[in-house]
Chains A and B, each alone.
Chain A
Amino acid sequence: MIKAILIFSNQGKPWLSKFYQPYSEDTQQQIIGETFHLVSKRDENVCNFLEGGLLIGRSDNKLIYRHYATLYFVFYVDSSESELGIFDLIQVFVETLDKCFENVCELDLIFHVDKVHNILVEMVMGGMVLETNMNEIVTQIDTQNKLEKSEADSQLSTCLHPQGGQSLKCEQCRKEYI
């Protein structure tokens, strides 16, 4: 089972954290800090698997991570998962992000945290791998976007802009809501 999924930058800023086991908010932050400490001091080209930190429980949890340019992707898993399987899953996750965002970069993850969550939701559920087929995942995300778009369009008529009747996409309207 996957216990947690973390994404953080080279500076240790967390851009995504998802825990599939209940930890208190403080512990979550501590785990993120500890994980960064464990992972960031490792050289490139060393092993991608190591024992978990103290907080998440050492003996039965493995930490599997990949480092892409400015980002670390870290999965905490128990002994029931295959290390290489999870290692590939991170690759699938990143490739999917890349497809959905077109050349994904750190800023995409920061500014679209909801989208990243939605993509993750299509892949992992309650700590278990749900879908590994990239095309299937992208199709699901596409469908969601279409739904969103159609709902946004239908909302045009109900826009309550003080000047009345303007599109939500209008800069004027946007500013009102910022």
Chain B
Amino acid sequence: MPAVSKGDGMRGLAVFISDIRNCKSKEAEIKRINKELANIRSKFKGDKALDGYSKKKYVCKLLFIFLLGHDIDFGHMEAVNLLSSNRYTEKQIGYLFISVLVNSNSELIRLINNAIKNDLASRNPTFMGLALHCIANVGSREMAEAFAGEVPKILVAGDTMDSVKQSAALCLLRLYRTSPDLVPMGDWTSRVVHLLNDQHLGVVTAATSLITTLAQKNPEEFKTSVSLAVSRLSRIVTSASTDLQDYTYYFVPAPWLSVKLLRLLQCYPPPEDPAVRGRLTECLETILNKAQEPPKSKKVQHSNAKNAVLFEAISLIIHHDSEPNLLVRACNQLGQFLQHRETNLRYLALESMCTLASSEFSHEAVKTHIDTVINALKTERDVSVRQRAVDLLYAMCDRSNAQQIVAEMLSYLETADYSIREEIVLKVAILAEKYAVDYAWYVDTILNLIRIAGDYVSEEVWYRVIQIVINRDDVQGYAAKTVFEALQAPACHENLVKVGGYILGEFGNLIAGDPRSSPLVQFNLLHSKFHLCSVPTRALLLSTYIKFVNLFPEVKTTIQDVLRSDSQLKNADVELQQRAVEYLRLSTVASTDILATVLEEMPPFPERESSILAKLKKKKGPSTVTDLEDTKRERSVDVNGGPEPAPASTSAASTPSPSADLLGLGAAPAAPAGPPPSSGGGLLVDVFSDSASAVAPLAPGSEDNFARFVCKNNGVLFENQLLQIGLKSEFRQNLGRMFIFYGNKTSTQFLNFTPTLICPDDLQSRLNLQTKPVDPTVDGGAQVQQVVNIECVSDFTEAPVLNIQFRYGGTFQNVSVQLPITLNKFFQPTEMSSQDFFQRWKQLSNPQQEVQNIFKAKHPMDTEITKAKIIGFGSALLEEVDPNPANFVGAGIIHTKTTQIGCLLRLEPNLQAQMYRLTLRTSKETVSQRLCELLSQQF
């Protein structure tokens, strides 16, 4: 009998769906849906109580409508009501509706939680299963708060049914994922580990998933799972496939469980116990052996399942990276797969080999497959496979094969899919630099990159080639000659003009001896491109021209004529105009000596992390690149004459852009210093950062800066390469005034400069902020001031956010910082005697009035600094009040427009343990809480 008989579906539902399917147009569909929604709404609102069947039918209709992409704004309450039904059918459809339609922050959660609580307590396994599913699917914080204590009990209780145990394990896993702080570790953890021995393989599978996630965060606590997992795995691997009955899938014993167990073992280093280790090695060997045996079935499912286990075993071998014998076998196995007829296997083999390439033992073995991989790059029909091939070539590259690999990547680049071109460009640029023995080769490679895929060559790439040419005098002449030749092409990419302009401006003299590249020829060549270029490139070329004036006095007049022409001196673009004026003046007034000093050759750049590598990391996520780089760095010998480029912690943004040095005269860099927001590609945030109205996420480090202002009123709140924000503020009773200073650190104007104060909804009624807009233009080097008048209406917790948006050199900038207006700013200190203090202390003895925090000292425990901080916090520091002289006691009143709140505080340092205990007592719970939070961060 089929489990779902076709006859007894719901006819009303079927009719409705057929209607929708017959709709000829989108309009007709919408019309039919609206009619149905109106019908259902009236049925739900009607007086007549609906029976379960109808409710179910209507809810199914709503689900269907939702799936078609229409909003459902009613029916939630009906669904919640269904949860408390005693009928399975009704309950089930209620839960289904909720798991599909209710998102985690719905207001209904409390009602839902109640129903779930009842079902969990019902001891009816079906109901419990439904409830656990619902928790796992919604997985919100409120649910975690309500059930994180209960679910572990269900999981380890002796009398829980297997199916419920399975659900409980995964439910707990979900709660741990969303709110790890709410899942208490306790006795249950050791009993969960023993579920690995459970009779029921479904329970073991679920438990393995749970333990894997828990072990990643608490490896010590779950260490015992290693030996249990090994023995379980060994029993599966060595069993005859029939032993496991239903868990055998196309003649492969429990493939999913094997995969999960192998994943769990990847959380740990190789087992220390030799017996366990031996048994594991045996398992892995058996799995590798089985791959060579003839298949037990011709079905593709059989080989898929077998290979799923095999790939996971290989991952574990690579992860342990300790048994050379196994590593070589793994590598050979992957080598076989590289030529397998199944595309999926070729894909996975390329992917696994990437990780294998970074292993000390097998790097050489991986390299033997280079021809196969290059062939894959050329012949694979599928872009996702080709992309893996690129990754693997990148990973297996070293000095011995760099020239070959770079050449292959370059030739692939000509036909590569647009989606992966930028990444290939970055990879080629990195490899060419890293393994360059001959820098002429390096320069050729980068110029080729620009020729083939100029649009995908980001600023980082051409900055880098210039840095390297400037730092290595053996390549300068060659570079000048090569760019000169490349510029001869009738159509060349703008990036080439930039590189060419810069290099000829610095080293054009090295090739000027040849009459074919005499100064005038060089100048005319560059100037022939000038009018086709964008403003930043033209600005760069103007700098090249003034450098020429110094290098080649014979072309001075020609260049002065160009600078003097109306198209330069009266150019609509301020930047170009300014350069033309200043350079022209400089060339006329300055003596040759001064010119030679001002326009001297660029000094070498300090060695720093390649900004290209930083960019690739940003693009691919730090983990993927760093691992490879780190391991490789140890092997490779330094050719750069400087440190290898790879400290993982430096981010792209903090690497100063070489273009800042470009212009020698202190004029603004033509390009933005950080990577422009739109060039990252591939990242979700970047998609959104294009829209000018989006508020930037809080700037990194802004939390720290915020904390620094709790006990002081003046200082620098934020600083990056472009902008500095300073604060000065004063507070009296419930009023305050804050001066915000915005400093433009560059020499270019900020346009459309708009700072906005944003108060979260709740804060708006509690804190009044008034300010006037500032001038939308901030000149280079200038500072503008904004005054904010502050009134505290009632006590508050959150802080307003200051969002600043502006245009700088054509890119949109967006910065957000928290503005340090905190509750303690409205403190007025109160002096009192010891007796008064303790009398008031006792009056505030309600449990809600006291908040206490015990925490580790983050700074050295210095008495004087602590005193200064308490006074800076705003309260009075009361001497000789506490019987223990080591303790600090303070008192004050928080002034708000509506009330005044008396506050007492006591800080007890424990030097030995390097801990503090901070106690706050005020008449209002939220105030105690907030003040305690604020002050705790300070020590």
Seen from chain A, the residues whose Cβ lies within 8 Å of a Cβ on chain B are: 1, 14-18, 20, 22, 24-25, 29, 42-43, 45-51, 54-55, 57-60, 80, 82-85, 87-89, 91-92, 99-102, 108, 110-115, 117-118, 121, 125-136, 138, 140-145, 147-148, 151-152, 155, 158-160, 168-169, 174, 177-178
Interchain CB contact under 8 A, A129 and B209: yes
User: 6 A-B Cβ contacts within 8 A?
Assistant: A47-B346, A87-B304, A125-B174, A126-B174, A144-B126, A177-B54
> What residue of chain A has the Cβ atom nearest to residue B387's Cβ?
A51
Interchain CB contact under 8 A, B249 and A54: no
Kindly state the separation between the CA atoms of A153 and B339 in the bound complex, as whole angstroms: 60
> What residue of chain A has the Cβ atom nearest to residue B43's Cβ?
A177
For residue A31, give the distance in angstroms from its CB to the closest CB of chain B: 11
Interface centre among B4, B63, B201 (most CB of A within 10 A): B4
Kindly state the separation between the CA atoms of A1 and B170 in the bound complex, as whole angstroms: 11
> What residue of chain A has the Cβ atom nearest to residue B175's Cβ?
A126
Interchain CB contact under 8 A, A130 and B206: yes
| B89 CB contacts on chain A under 8 angstroms | 147-148, 151-152
| A45 CB contacts on chain B under 8 angstroms | 343
Question: In the complex where A20-B137, A147-B126 touch, is A80 in contact with B263 (Cβ < 8 A)?
Answer: yes
Interchain CB contact under 8 A, A85 and B256: yes
Within 8 A of A (CB), among B293-349: 301, 304-305, 307-308, 311-312, 343-344, 346-348
Interface centre among A80, A89, A169 (most CB of B within 10 A): A80
Interchain CB contact under 8 A, B88 and A128: no
For residue A23, give the distance in angstroms from its CB to the closest CB of chain B: 9
Interface centre among A99, A113, A134, A159 (most CB of B within 10 A): A113
Q: Which of B5-13, B819-827, B844-852 contacts A (4 or more CB under 8 A)?
A: B5-13
Kindly state the separation between the CA atoms of A134 and B291 in the bound complex, as whole angstroms: 25
Kindly state the separation between the CA atoms of A129 and B53 in the bound complex, as whole angstroms: 31
| B385 CB contacts on chain A under 8 angstroms | 46-47
For residue A111, give the distance in angstroms from its CB to the closest CB of chain B: 5
| A55 CB contacts on chain B under 8 angstroms | 684
Interchain CB contact under 8 A, A59 and B624: yes
Kindly state the separation between the CA atoms of A43 and B380 in the bound complex, as whole angstroms: 13
> What residue of chain B has the Cβ atom nearest to residue A141's Cβ?
B3
Interchain CB contact under 8 A, A177 and B247: no
Q: A82-B311, A160-B51 are in contact. List 5 more A-B contacts (CB 8 A).
A: A47-B347, A48-B343, A60-B621, A108-B4, A177-B53
**A125: which of B13, B21, B133, B384 is its contact (CB, 8 Å)?**
B133
Interchain CB contact under 8 A, B67 and A84: no
> What residue of chain B has the Cβ atom nearest to residue A55's Cβ?
B684
| B683 CB contacts on chain A under 8 angstroms | 58-59
Kindly state the separation between the CA atoms of A48 and B300 in the bound complex, as whole angstroms: 14
Interchain CB contact under 8 A, A177 and B12: yes
| B304 CB contacts on chain A under 8 angstroms | 84, 87-88, 91
| B202 CB contacts on chain A under 8 angstroms | 130-133, 136
| A151 CB contacts on chain B under 8 angstroms | 52, 87-89
Question: In the complex where A54-B687, A133-B246 touch, is A88 in contact with B166 (Cβ < 8 A)?
Answer: no
For residue B788, give the distance in angstroms from its CB to the closest CB of chain A: 34
**A100: which of B4, B212, B301 is its contact (CB, 8 Å)?**
B4
Interchain CB contact under 8 A, A100 and B3: yes
Seen from chain B, the residues whose Cβ lies within 8 Å of a Cβ on chain A are: 2-4, 6, 8-9, 11-15, 17, 21, 51-54, 56-57, 60, 63-64, 66-69, 71, 87-89, 92-93, 96, 99-100, 103-104, 126, 132-133, 135-137, 139, 163, 166-167, 170-171, 173-174, 177, 201-202, 205-206, 209, 212, 246-247, 249, 255-256, 259, 263, 301, 304-305, 307-308, 311-312, 343-344, 346-348, 381-382, 384-385, 387, 620-621, 624, 682-684, 687
Kindly state the separation between the CA atoms of A162 and B864 in the bound complex, as whole angstroms: 87
Question: In the complex where A91-B301, A99-B2, A177-B53 touch, is A111 in contact with B13 (Cβ < 8 A)?
Answer: yes
Question: In the complex where A54-B682, A80-B263, A85-B255 touch, is A155 in contact with B2 (Cβ < 8 A)?
Answer: no
Kindly state the separation between the CA atoms of A145 and B1 in the bound complex, as whole angstroms: 11
Interchain CB contact under 8 A, A130 and B52: no
Interchain CB contact under 8 A, A178 and B11: yes
| B52 CB contacts on chain A under 8 angstroms | 151, 155
Kindly state the separation between the CA atoms of A20 and B13 in the bound complex, as whole angstroms: 26
> What residue of chain A has the Cβ atom nearest to residue B139's Cβ?
A126
Interchain CB contact under 8 A, B67 and A145: no
Kindly state the separation between the CA atoms of A47 and B64 in the bound complex, as whole angstroms: 32
Question: In the complex where A43-B381, A126-B139 touch, is A132 in contact with B88 (Cβ < 8 A)?
Answer: no
Question: In the complex where A113-B63, A126-B174, A152-B89 touch, is A121 in contact with B308 (Cβ < 8 A)?
Answer: no
Question: In the complex where A126-B174, A177-B54 touch, is A84 in contact with B60 (Cβ < 8 A)?
Answer: no
> What residue of chain B has the Cβ atom nearest to residue A97's Cβ?
B4
| B682 CB contacts on chain A under 8 angstroms | 54, 58-59
Interchain CB contact under 8 A, A117 and B100: yes
Interchain CB contact under 8 A, A29 and B69: yes
> What residue of chain A has the Cβ atom nearest to residue B307's Cβ?
A84
For residue A155, give the distance in angstroms from its CB to the closest CB of chain B: 7
Kindly state the separation between the CA atoms of A49 and B347 in the bound complex, as whole angstroms: 8
> What residue of chain B has the Cβ atom nearest to residue A159's Cβ?
B51
Kindly state the separation between the CA atoms of A111 and B71 in the bound complex, as whole angstroms: 20
Kindly state the separation between the CA atoms of A115 and B307 in the bound complex, as whole angstroms: 32
| B382 CB contacts on chain A under 8 angstroms | 42-43, 46-47
| B312 CB contacts on chain A under 8 angstroms | 82, 85
Interchain CB contact under 8 A, B96 and A117: yes
For residue A100, give the distance in angstroms from its CB to the closest CB of chain B: 4
Interchain CB contact under 8 A, A49 and B57: no
> What residue of chain B has the Cβ atom nearest to residue A49's Cβ?
B347
Question: In the complex where A59-B620, A91-B301 touch, is A128 in contact with B174 (Cβ < 8 A)?
Answer: yes
Interchain CB contact under 8 A, A121 and B133: yes
Interchain CB contact under 8 A, A54 and B684: yes
Question: In the complex where A85-B259, A132-B247 touch, is A108 in contact with B6 (Cβ < 8 A)?
Answer: yes
**A101: which of B2, B166, B174, B344 is its contact (CB, 8 Å)?**
B2
Interchain CB contact under 8 A, B344 and A126: no
| B177 CB contacts on chain A under 8 angstroms | 1
Interchain CB contact under 8 A, B100 and A142: no
Interface centre among B3, B209, B307 (most CB of A within 10 A): B3
Question: In the complex where A48-B344, A147-B89 touch, is A168 in contact with B53 (Cβ < 8 A)?
Answer: yes
> What residue of chain A has the Cβ atom nearest to residue B8's Cβ?
A169
Interchain CB contact under 8 A, B621 and A59: yes
Interchain CB contact under 8 A, B67 and A16: yes
Question: In the complex where A130-B206, A140-B163, A177-B53 touch, is A101 in contact with B247 (Cβ < 8 A)?
Answer: no
Interchain CB contact under 8 A, A133 and B53: no
Interchain CB contact under 8 A, A85 and B308: yes
| B308 CB contacts on chain A under 8 angstroms | 82-85, 87-88
Interchain CB contact under 8 A, B103 and A88: no
Kindly state the separation between the CA atoms of A135 and B309 in the bound complex, as whole angstroms: 22
Question: In the complex where A46-B343, A132-B256 touch, is A84 in contact with B163 (Cβ < 8 A)?
Answer: no
For residue A117, give the distance in angstroms from its CB to the closest CB of chain B: 6
Interchain CB contact under 8 A, B51 and A101: no
**A112: which of B4, B103, B205 is its contact (CB, 8 Å)?**
B4
Kindly state the separation between the CA atoms of A125 and B151 in the bound complex, as whole angstroms: 15
Interface centre among A14, A45, A114, A126 (most CB of B within 10 A): A126
Interchain CB contact under 8 A, B9 and A130: no
For residue B616, give the distance in angstroms from its CB to the closest CB of chain A: 12
Kindly state the separation between the CA atoms of A16 and B201 in the bound complex, as whole angstroms: 29
Kindly state the separation between the CA atoms of A92 and B256 in the bound complex, as whole angstroms: 12
Interchain CB contact under 8 A, A132 and B205: yes
| B687 CB contacts on chain A under 8 angstroms | 54
> What residue of chain B has the Cβ atom nearest to residue A25's Cβ?
B71
Question: In the complex where A20-B137, A145-B3 touch, is A46 in contact with B53 (Cβ < 8 A)?
Answer: no
For residue A144, give the distance in angstroms from its CB to the closest CB of chain B: 7
Question: In the complex where A47-B344, A111-B9, A128-B174 touch, is A17 in contact with B621 (Cβ < 8 A)?
Answer: no
For residue B826, give the distance in angstroms from its CB to the closest CB of chain A: 38
Kindly state the separation between the CA atoms of A24 and B163 in the bound complex, as whole angstroms: 32
For residue A131, give the distance in angstroms from its CB to the closest CB of chain B: 5
Interface centre among A17, A46, A51, A134 (most CB of B within 10 A): A46
Interchain CB contact under 8 A, B384 and A49: yes
Interchain CB contact under 8 A, B12 and A17: no
